[in-house]
Each structure stands twice: as C-alpha cells, then as structure tokens.
Amino acid sequence: MEATITLTLTGQFAGWSAEMDADPEWATLEEFASEDIPRISAELVRVVKTWNFRDRNGEELPVSVKALSKVPMRAIVQLIKLYQDSFKQLPN
C-alpha cells in the first residue's frame, strides 16, 4: 500500500481536501515546475488518489484531467502549493 498525505484547503475552499501520494518520484516536482499546463494537469491527476472537490454548481468531480477544467484555478494552485510545501517538512 502506498503512503498518502491528506491536504486540506483553506479560505474560500475550506473543507476541500485531497488524499495524495506521499512519496512521488522526483519527476513529479519536475512536472509541476514545467509551467506546461497539460503536463501539470496529468501529473496532478496521477498523484491525487481521492478528493472531495466540486464544481461551481456543487456537483462532485471525479479525479480526472477533464474534471480539472471545472475546478476553480485558485483551488488547484493552492493544492499544488500545499503539496510542494509538504516536502519541506520531511524528516532528515
């Protein structure tokens, strides 16, 4: 069973959370740093195991690249930042 980490968003997205791969390959950080939206989207979907994200109408969204287009941009940016920040807290 792979290790996961649960990240919880704040502010206008309070209560939104995602369970993500806690030990991704180095390539994950490279993809997030690429500034290539299709690559970032594909990698994000690969490392997100589950989430409770909803579209603006309150409908549940599956974890998929297609569904990302319905997630508010600020929520995606916050999730990626939380994920990247989680690696700064790794034990020595």
Delimit the domains of the chain by residue range.
Answer: 4-86
Q: Record the pTM.
A: 0.89
Give the residues across from 60 on adjacent strands.
54
- How far, rounded to the nearest angstrom, does the alpha carbon of residue 14 sit from its chain's CA centroid? 15
Report helix, strand or coil for 6. strand
DSSP letters for 13-45: GTT-EEEEESS--HHHHHHHTT--HHHHHHHHH
Residue 33 contacts residue 12 (beta carbons within 8 Å): no
pLDDT in tens, 40-91: 999 999 999 999 999 889 899 999 999 999 999 999 999 999 999 988 875 5
Instruction: Give per-residue pLDDT as tens, 26-44.
Output: 898 899 889 899 999 999 9
